[in-house]
Structures are given as structure tokens and as C-alpha cells.
Amino acid sequence: MIKQYRFLFLIGACAAALLTGSIKAAQSLDHIVATVNENVITQSELNQAVNTARKQMASTDTSLPPANTLRHEVLNRLIDRKLQLQLAEQAGIHKNDADVDKTINTIAENNHISSTELYQKIAEEGMSRGKYRKEIRDELIIQQLQQQEIGSKITMTPADVKAFMRIAPPKNISSIKEYHVDDILIPLPDSPTPDEMTVSKKLSESIATKLRAGENYQEIAAANKNITDSDLGWRKLDELPTAFADVIARMKPNEIRGPLRAANGFHLLRLLDVHNTENAEKITPPTESEAQQLAYQHKFEEALKTWLAKMRSQAIINMHPENE
């Protein structure tokens, strides 16, 4: 598998639904699994995205979640992607062929191959040159939008760096634990009123109670469309949001913690599994510069979740689970 040739591994096939020729005609008969404002997500689009997710997770030896969980996660990411592309279009953000060529050439150079060889590798995995370029173009547009809406507004303080340094891995350890975490967010508006705080907290407590009782998450999510569920994958403590790391370190597999209050809302954490990395070498804490970069990334991820949740709350999103 060529490294970094796709940007978002769980939605690598998002652009693959924009097909040509006879397949376009067939799409008119395709089932719709979700509508996102004026756009739709079809069954074939979701299937392609799920298949790509499976291939890419397999290539990195990542454990596959249950099929229903994976489809739910991929569908949510497809929705988020369409919302962002819609907003970028409204903001007049576009990328030309030169931008796409530059990115593809960089990816090829990083993998020590030519761009022609990269296209060949992509074709071997079932993606045409045109679809691959469309995927890269969309991702560049989303990156610029996120930087404009989120990255440019994030500030770092010495306290942020110190907080990250406290959970940095210690020296001379023989193995490092990795945690497979699922994060459910019950969002809050930017400046919530006391009533909004109370309603969101009660909703998060109710959802936590239902999950602990073994109720199906997909059914809970269908009844509460504003909540978001993010599978954070396998991460070390220093790769998790600072606000979660201390809590997760004390959790046991299959345990649910929360609600935890954060700037973007109330979080419910599900620890799906824990394992130790193999052949771990001696590790030193990050330098202050590295810690600053990592702390910035943590703040960016938290701000991104808030921003996406806000976009969802303002959008018209309709799920059609009967067609999945």
C-alpha cells in the first residue's frame, strides 16, 4: 500500500461515487441512505467507502470494528465531508489543476516513485486517475476550509504545553499501551444558556445509562441526530485529547465513562480495547517544540469536532436506514 496516497482513510472512496457513462444512469436507481441539505449519499457510495476503509485498515493491521459500527462511522464521515464541501463552495474555495499536480507529485516523491507509477498503483486498487484527482482536490479544499475556519483561530499557551507534557510517555519503558476509544459527543452551542446546558447534560446522562444497559447505539443515534460518534482508533495516551487521557488511563475494556464536560459539549467515552505495542524501544518525552505541535493538534481536533457538530445542527440531514 502506498503511504499517504489517500488523505482520510475512513472516507477514501468518497469521490468514487461521481462516476461517468452508463453508471451515471444506474445511479438514478440507486438507494439513498442519507440526504445532506441538497446532496445525497447513495448506497453504492457508502458501500465503496466502507470497502475502501476495510482495505486500508487491513493494510495497516488495524483491527476492524463490527460491520454495523464501521458503516455508521463511514456514513458519518461522508456526511461531514459533504457539509464541508458545501461550505467551501459557498466560501468560494477552489483548487486548480496545478494545486492537485503539486500534491500528487509530493506524494509520489515521498514514496520514491514517479507520478505515473503512483497512478498505476491507484489503478491497481480500482480507482481511476480522474477519481483520484477529484479526491485529492476535495481534500485540499477541505484542508483550506478547516485552516480558515479553525486553525487560524487556535492559540497556544504555556499551560497547554505543560498539560501535554504531563501525559507524555516516560523514558525506558519496554512497552506502551494503546487504547481503542470511541467518543460520543452531545454538542453545545458556542454560548450555551443554563437551560441548554441542563438539557444537554440530561440527554448525555440518559444516553450513558442506555449504553451501559446494553441498548443498541445505532438506535440511540437515530433518535438523536445531533450527536456525533467518532471512533478514535488505536492511540497512545499522548495521542488522545488531554481532557480524556487521564480518564481513559483508568478505564477497563468495554467501560463507558461520562458525561465529561468540555468546551464543545458533553462527551461519553467507550473504551473498546487495550493492548501493548510490541518491540517498543526506549522512548524519551517529546521536546517542548514537539509538545507544542502535538498540543496544537489536540486543540485542533477538539475544535474540529465542535465545528462539525455545529454545522450538523444547522443542516438538514435525513437518514434512510431502511435502505442501508
Residues 202 and 182 in one domain: yes
Residues 201 and 111 in one domain: no
> Rg of the chain over CA atoms, in angstroms?
20
Domain ends where: 91, 121, 149?
A: 149
CATH number of the domain encompassing residue 241:
3.10.50.40
**320 assigned to some structural domain:** no
Q: How confident is the model at residue 75 (pLDDT cuts 50, 70, 90)?
A: very high
Asked if pLDDT for residue 28 goes beyond 50, the answer is no
pLDDT of residue 286: 67
pLDDT of residue 322: 56
In the three-class reduction of DSSP (H, G, I as helix; E, B as strand; rest coil), residue 225 is classed as coil
Can you tell me the distance from the alpha carbon of 16 to that of 5, in angstroms, rounded to the nearest whole number? 15
Q: What percent of the chain has pLDDT over 70?
A: 81
Which pLDDT tens digit goes with each residue over 258-291? Answer: 888 887 888 999 999 888 765 445 556 667 777 7
Mean pLDDT of 78-98: 95
Structurally, the chain folds into a number of domains equal to 2
Residues 192 and 307 in one domain: yes
Q: Which domain holds residue 18?
A: 14-149
Closest listed residue to residue 150, CA positions, set 307, 265, 263, 7: 307
**240 assigned to some structural domain:** yes
Residues 166 and 280 in one domain: yes
Which pLDDT tens digit goes with each residue over 230-264? Answer: 888 888 888 887 778 878 888 888 899 888 888 78
Tell me which H or E stretch contains 107: helix 97-110
pLDDT of residue 59: 67
Domain ends where: 121, 149, 177?
A: 149
In the three-class reduction of DSSP (H, G, I as helix; E, B as strand; rest coil), residue 18 is classed as coil
